Amino acid sequence: MAGTDVRTETEGSEPGGYAAARLRLLTEEGRSGPPRRAALAELTDDWLKELFAAGARGAGGVSLVAVGGYGRGELSPRSDLDLLLLHEGGDAQGIAALADRLWYPVWDLGLDLDHSVRTPAQARKTAAEDLRVQLGLLNARHLAGDPALTAGLRTAVFADWRNQAPKRLPELQELCAERAARQGELQYLLEPDLKEARGGLRDATALRAVAASWLADAPREGLADARRVLLDVRDALHLTTGRATDRLALQEQDQVAAALGLLDADTLLRQVYEAARVISYASDVTWREVGRVLRSRGARPRLRAMLGGKPVAERSPLAEGVVEQDGEVVLARVARPDRDPVLPLRAAAAAAQAGLPLSLHAVRRMAATGRPLPTPWPAEARDQLVTLLGSGRPTVDVWEALEAEGLVTRLLPDWERVRCRPQRNAVHLWTVDRHLIETAVHASELTRRVGRPDLLLVAALLHDIGKGWPGDHSVAGETIARDVAARIGFDRDDVAVLAALVRHHLLLVETATRRDLEDPATVRAVADAVGHPGTLELLHALTEADALATGPAAWSSWRGTLVADLVKRVSALLAGDEPDTTDAAPTAEQEQLAVEASRTGGPVLALRAQTEPPTGEPDGGEPEPLGVELLVAVPDQPGVLPAVAGVLAMHRLTVRTAELRTLDLADSVHGGPVLLLDWRVAAEYGSLPQAARLRADLVRALDGSLDTEARLAERDAAYPRRRGVLAPPPRVTVAPAASRHATVIEVRAQDVPGLLFRIGRALEKAAVRVRSAHVSTLGANAVDAFYVTTAKDTPLPGAEAASLARSLEETLRS
């Protein structure tokens, strides 16, 4: 078997023929999915058998074994080949030569290869030391050589796995948990790793390993289809990119969707999420069962009765027809799902209230035999739904258990449109349906603030239900919410309140962060939309719960303060008080800065750190840094906004929020209007510049000796442009009837360095006066509002306002 020219001795196996046949198979129309994977595995098997036969030449005591994914026959277009050359020892030189004759042709074709050469004893020893090796050997499949050698190894490996299961399964569970913490949950990621993320192909393989231990088994329904979906997507991803990748990147999703014959990238992601959810739920159920079995082996179970000579675990009643048994919520023996349509909601509410999981058997029994609820629902069903939604964090797992067996869409048919629906917005952490449940979780913490907690919790569940329909989701959601609320059994007045909450769930935060709260028109518009103090109270709590459930970029103490201020003003108006038309008095610090600016005739700056209490601990713990607040007072003059914004951008300061207002010091000794700019900034990297340096550059920017625009252009030119996600183009609009005293220009754009400077310059060139500005950053998105007037301090005429919006949008697009 020895030889030096490996390629010459293996020419008879025709690697070129295999390569051509492989290419034809991968490009063949009409064959994809499992048929293609099976055909590719079979083609590769035949080629490797030829290589083995040419190299072994009748030698005994050796076999070629496929392991891992190749052993399972899951050979994607760019998958590596997992191969084990198994031998009984003896002729080491001959075994090495045979390995060369096998491995080199694989490498010559550019295929990835994960290979090893071991005796059965060495393979078992390595498996005992490395869990990943053992998992690969559980899928061992004989390819060529001595079949008895392969069969002996398989028998020994499975025996080892079952004998060591009490020790190895907790290790496998920990491995899965570490991977999930590192890669995230496949069912929520915009750029998921199909293999490594939780709910991906690795977890599906782990479930097969658990089943092989004979200690527990995963729920089989839908699991094979979910695995097939992820494998099909990976196949299309390999063929589309030409790379061995498992990460479904944003820029490749449209092509992968087209390759699979799907409508678009959202349809693709939704299929991926649905498959991942099946695998994740099966994993939860399986690991819970593993834990129960291992606990029962390690400790004597509690016994309270003997039926037929067999021990029975203690059963504690939780609700009518619902009991706890062995750490799970199960149905009582007398429960009759076929006669009790409220039972699924009652069992779910009891489980969430107890902080326990719903038994898989119980959920499936209710799904298979339960009766539908009448329309409208009886009062008990509505109460149980509210109890479930108000149970806090345990609601999530219980809801997912109901959803896994189709009970949620049976109760709420409109849920189907938002189930597993992706949200292509970096601010959002979750799919639409999970976001709705997360909102209910946060709303459950605010129920003591409102007079109708039931309406708050149901509004939290429904506020984004319109995202499954075309058009404005708030408008569509209002119609759906009316239907759902009536079906649930709320009376006419409550239906109207829920519809209003869904319609206006973005009203408070958008108004508070984009409108001038000193303008009476702002307060009156919100009051007209809300209509009632009780609705305003509910909307305030819903706004906070929605933002907290969206992600960390959507809520802060600053936004909370603005919303609370708006609610206070609207509440007073609804109570009969007319809004105060005078501007709010400046703080002592603001007035001091303004007076100093007016006295010196130049800018005055103040920097201070901003903090807020740690999340979840409003009254204790160490404060969390929010950034730095920068107060700038400048005597009123043209070009202040672009000058300040340009200097901040030049010093690499990111603007998180900004407010601009005018203080009239006519009654002061120094007199004259002063512009006050209140910014919250953070350094892109490094430390913050000193206030004195900022002031010096601002003085130069205002007097024209510092060309800020040129400096920013030089800085941008010095850095190479990097490829990234293509952002949607900026949009500039005129907000209709937003103020009686000014024209409101709204800007939505990708947040990039110098954006606010460019906006300020464009407004300055348009010869409009910026009365106030409200700037906020949500993730990678800037959402800004500018109150502008003519030189005579009047709103812009309609045509002029529209022209300004178009001009500003063109400037930002260029």
Lowest mean pLDDT among 57-66, 108-117, 575-584: 575-584
Task: Give the residue from 545, 546, 445, 538 showing the smallest Cα distance to 497.
Answer: 538
Q: What pLDDT, on a 0 to 100 scale, did the predictor assign at position 583?
A: 57
671's torsion region: left (phi>0), alpha (psi -120 to 50) or beta? left
Of 11-15, 303-307, 721-725, which gets the smallest average pLDDT?
A: 303-307
Closest by CA position to 786, among listed 719, 725, 716, 733 = 733
Q: Is the pLDDT of residue 199 over 70?
A: yes
Residue 671 scores a pLDDT above 70: no
User: Does 727 score more than 90 pLDDT?
Assistant: no
Q: What number is the average pLDDT over the span 199-218?
A: 92
pLDDT one-digit tens code per residue, 491-525: 999 999 999 999 999 999 999 988 888 888 899 99
Written out in words, the top-level CATH class of the domain with range 166-298 is: mainly alpha
Asked whether the beta carbons of 76 and 64 are under 8 A apart, the reply is no
As a whole number of angstroms, the distance between CA 727 and CA 810 comes to 16
CB 558 within 8 A of CB 680: yes
* Residue with the larger pLDDT of the pair 277 and 16: 277
Give the residue with greater pLDDT, 387 vs 748: 387
For residue 669, pLDDT over 70 is answered with: no
Q: What is the pLDDT of residue 156?
A: 96
pLDDT at 750: 76
Question: At residue 751, does pLDDT exceed 80?
Answer: no
What type of residue is 511?
A: T
Q: What is the pLDDT of residue 609?
A: 66
Please check the confidence at residue 629 and state whether its pLDDT lies above 70.
yes
pLDDT at 2: 39
> What is the residue whose two structure tokens read 């002061």?
668
Contact 485, 504 (CB under 8 A): no
Better-predicted residue by pLDDT, 668 or 759: 759
Confidence of residue 626 (pLDDT cuts 50, 70, 90): very low
pLDDT on residue 601: 86
User: Going by CATH, does the domain composed of 6-163 fall within 2.60.40.1180?
Assistant: no
Residues 35 and 42: their CA atoms lie apart, in Å, by 10
DSSP string computed for 12-78: GG-HHHHHHHHHHHHH-TT--SHHHHHHHHHHHHHHHHHHHHHHHTT--SEEEEE-HHHHTT---TT
Integer angstrom CA distances of residue 168 from 131, 173, 219: 8, 9, 21
**Residue 813: strand, helix, or coil:** helix
Give SS3 for 306. Answer: strand
Provide the 3-class DSSP secondary structure of residue 660.
strand
DSSP track, 717-786: HTSPPPP---PPPPEEEEETTS-SSSEEEEEEEE--TTHHHHHHHHHHHTT-EEEEEEEEEETTEEEEEE
Cα 710 from Cα 646, distance rounded (Å): 10
> Per-residue pLDDT averaged across 529-551, rounded?
94
What's the whole-number average pLDDT of the chain? 86
User: Within 13 Å and on the Cβ side, how many CA atoms surround 348?
Assistant: 33
**Mean pLDDT, rounded, for 568-593:** 77
pLDDT for position 755: 87
Strands of 621-672, DSSP E: 624-635, 653-664
Which pLDDT value is given to residue 194? 96
Mean pLDDT of 678-700: 80
From the CB of residue 602, how many other CB atoms can be counted at a distance below 10 Å?
A: 16
Residue 725 predicted with pLDDT over 80: no
670: which DSSP letter? S
CA distance 98 to 51: 9
Higher-pLDDT residue of 399 and 714 is 399
Q: Is 318-574 a domain of CATH 1.10.12? A: no
What pLDDT score was predicted for residue 267?
94
The confidence score (pLDDT) of residue 684 equals: 62
pLDDT on residue 6: 37
The winner for highest mean pLDDT among 188-197, 718-727, 778-787 is 188-197
Longest dimension (CA), the chain: 108
- Which one-letter amino acid corresponds to residue 305? A
pLDDT grade, residue 578 (50/70/90)? low
Residue-wise pLDDT tens digits, 556-575 = 888 899 999 999 999 999 98
Q: What is the mean pLDDT of residues 105-129?
A: 93
CB 801, CB 768: distance < 8 Å: no
For range 363-392, the mean pLDDT: 93
Which contiguous run of DSSP H or E holds residue 694? helix 691-703
- The CA distances from residue 209 to 169, 258, 268, 527, in Å, are 9, 34, 28, 60
Cis peptide bond upstream of 533, omega within 30: no
Residue 310 has pLDDT above 60, yes or no: no
d(CA 190, CA 194): 11
Q: What residue segments make up the domains of the chain, in order of their start?
A: 6-163, 166-298, 318-574, 589-719+727-813
Higher per-residue confidence, 723 vs 663: 663
